[in-house]
Chains A and B, each alone.
Chain A
Amino acid sequence: MVTFIVRRLIATVFLLIVVSMITFAVFFLIPRLAGQNSYQLATQYVGRNPTRPAVLAIEQKLGLNEPIYVQYGRFLRGLIFGEHYNSGTSSNYCPPPCFGYSFRNQQPVWPLMVSSMPVTISLAAGAAIIWLTGGVAIGVVSALRRGTFFDRFSMGLALAGVSLPIFFTGLISLALFSYKWPIFPNVTYVGITSNPLLWARNLVLPWITLAFLYAALYARLTRAGMLETMSEDYIRTARAKGLPERTVIVRHGLRAALTPIVTIFGMDLGALLGGAVITEHTFSLQGLGQFTILAIDNQDLPEILGVTMLAAFFIIIANLVVDVLYAVVDPRVRH
């Protein structure tokens, strides 16, 4: 098990390097292949009215005039050791892990991303708890009462949940519960450490909106999984042992049905940690999703590169966690 994890961690590092190469190539090599020279590239970092000396200073500072592999080397070095951006007259230091320097914001990218992370993590984690418990519970009950009103109703609701986009359900929930009946009047992020109660209260609407979509997916998945496992031979064996029905359902049925759920849960959570773009935008929460939108709007390449790598990192780590969990959950994988 330990060697398995270590092996996977080493593979993860290589995977991240490949991801960094690809994203780096996409944002720094392709413009060049498309015919832009380093001066034109540098112009983008300067502002609305670029002067020639300012552009040249930036060009030198970022090393844009150097060969692409040198630039990539600088980028990698910056990730681990930090980076000094020097133009002779002015110098900016970007401490490790340096994902680059955002010249729009006059700040290194990493702290900007770090400051957006609590919002995204709070949003994703809270919603995940709601959709996992809610979706699985509804799925199990639906499967056990197949064909009843509860089953039809919840599966209909699930269909709505899967079909309705977040910017629709989110805005409806805001209109109803924030304006018409102001139960959750203020949907702004408050740090969990400064006021946990307000933190939770303000996030209720985004949580539920985001969880609605995922809970619908998970309810359908759980239902299908439970229907399958409950007709397995080993369920009959469990009943033949005289186990109470609840033990049969939870210990023998749900346990087996949960394996695929665990897999996609890890992937979904990993993807969301990279930024719940639409939800954050709908509720104007300043998380990684909003950060990404702004970065793309402003064509701030270091920011885009940074957030891409961060998202990739979350997904790769989620994959690793899922694989490890899989081995924990399913003994057949272990041996």
Chain B
Amino acid sequence: MAVRWGRARGGLNQQEAAGPEDAPGPQPSSMLEVRDLRIHFPTDDGLVKAVDGVSFALDRGRTLGIVGESGSGKSVTSLGIMGLHHGGKADIRGKIWLDGEELVSAPAARVRELRGSKMAMIFQDPLSSLHPYYTVGFQIAEAYLIHNKVGRKAAKAHAVDLLGRVGIPNPQTRVDDYPHQFSGGMRQRAMIAMALSCNPELLIADEPTTALDVTVQAQILELMADLQEEFGSAVIIITHDLGVVAELADDILVMYAGRMAEYGTSEDIFDRPGHPYAWGLLSSMPRFDRARTQRLIPIPGTPPSLINVPSGCPFHPRCPYAASLGGRCVTEVPLLRAVGPGHEAACHLPIDEQRRIWTDLVQTQLAPAASQADGEDA
């Protein structure tokens, strides 16, 4: 144990010494701070701007939900934070500070040390994300062994302990099972145990419940909330499911075509969203408090190609309000601007107009006993 602490502290001292020299702009105040992150992939067909200027901050004990359709750059962002684009062809710019340590410019070996220890990740499909040839216990112990100077026995005992904590019955025997002997929900529990094995300060969950049954989803979300309370980690939860975010997130970042569409607290996004894309997401979400006869309203069109992002606002081809602003949405990229305290949206619509449209939408479509409102598609 003593050795382990010594190592961790050595690492911190290093970065403190190196910190001030290469950090333009203000020093980060949050545990995790991402500033103007850009992740581009040069391909034969052109430059894929998977992430284009994303900034957010996250503190211990808080949960950030990143929401967006497939291909909006949410997973790429999280893999970028984890440094899992290293060695690939990705061109990564911007700053990521984890506990004051800048990760984009850090050597790959240093980021590797942090991976699994200080920051950990849970993936979407727990079956394909677990190695089929190794026992669950081994896979959990593996991360612990790498980052801590402990023996195999201690690591295995730790794995048993973790499996118990994530709610797997008979962890002493299940620890020697292989992933295929686990059910889907148990596999995801095991993934969570693996991610938590070194007490990470940052936990990124990339669509943690997408591959699971609805009933199991609720259990896993509850488990994550409980564990966050217990471990006090900062959590980023990536999803296209607003229901998941509503349950867990303190803050929400809505991404569209690799850019930030809207960023604010959970209340901001659910009660007074400012971006037409967020309205679309909320209108297309099934809710218990709406009449069953009422249809879900899909967002028309498909997400844009990240090679040919539409000019101006990337959402303008699908936005029902773009026409009302003349050609502005086609020519001018909307900048993120404050629409409330700590609440930002990237939309040209005047703030008053945004409020008015949202209030209208709530009254006509989202109200519990609303009469049939047809033809939103206009």
Known: A233-B128, A234-B130. A241 touches B123 (CB 8 A): no
A255 touches B181 (CB 8 A): no
CB of B112 closer than 8 Å to a CB of A: yes
CB within 8 Å for A335 and B178 given contacts A241-B116, A242-B117:
yes
In the complex, chain B residues whose CB is within 8 Å of the CB of A239: 84, 115
A332 adjacent to chain B (CB < 8 Å): yes
Tell me, yes or no, whether B175 is within 8 Å of chain A by CB.
no
Q: Please tell me which one of the listed residues A238, A242, A247, A330 contacts residue B132 in the complex, with CB atoms under 8 A apart.
A: A330
B178, A233: Cβ atoms closer than 8 Å: no
Contacts of A242 in B (CB 8 A): 112-117, 143, 146-147
How many B residues have CB within 8 A of the partner chain? 30
Interface-central residue, B117, B128, B133, B180, by most chain A CB under 10 Å: B133
Find out whether the CB atom of B131 lies under 8 angstroms from the CB atom of A237: yes
Q: Please state if B178 and A240 are interface contacts (CB–CB under 8 Å).
A: no
Q: Which residues of A contact B191 (CB under 8 A)?
A: 237
Is B84 in contact with A240, judged by CB distance below 8 angstroms? yes
Interface residues of A in 296-335 (CB under 8 A from B): 329-332, 335
Interface contact A237-B146, CB-CB below 8 Å: no
CB of B208 to closest CB in A, whole Å = 13
- Contact across chains for B146 and A332 when beta carbons are under 8 A apart: no
- Bound together, the chains give a CA A316 to CA B181 distance in angstroms of 31
User: A332's contact among B113, B129, B132, by CB below 8 Å, is which?
Assistant: B132
B155 to chain A, nearest CB (A): 12
Does A294 touch B at the CB level, under 8 Å?
Answer: no
Given A255-B133, A256-B131, A241-B125 contact (CB < 8 Å): no
Given known A-B contacts A243-B146, A332-B178, A335-B181, A237 and B115 have beta carbons under 8 A apart: no
A334 shortest CB reach to chain B, Å: 9
Q: Does B82 contact A (CB under 8 A)?
A: yes
**A176, B70: Cα distance in complex, Å:** 60
Q: List chain A residues, Cβ under 8 A from B117.
A: 242
Interface check B50, CB cutoff 8 A: no
Asked whether B113 lies within 8 Å of A256 as measured between CB atoms, the reply is no
Say how far A1's CB is from chain B's closest CB, in angstroms: 15
Let me know if A241 and B133 touch, CB within 8 A: no
- In the complex, how many angstroms separate the beta carbon of A236 from the nearest chain B beta carbon? 7
Q: Are B123 and A237 in contact (CB under 8 A)?
A: yes
**Assuming the A-B contacts A241-B115, A242-B117, A335-B180, are A256 and B132 also in contact, with contact meaning beta carbons closer than 8 angstroms in the complex?**
yes
Q: Which 7 A-B pairs have the closest CB atoms?
A: A242-B116, A242-B115, A241-B143, A233-B128, A241-B116, A234-B131, A233-B129
B residues sitting closer than 8 Å to A (CB atoms) are 82, 84, 87, 112-117, 120-121, 123, 125, 128-133, 135, 139, 142-143, 146-147, 178, 180-181, 191, 194
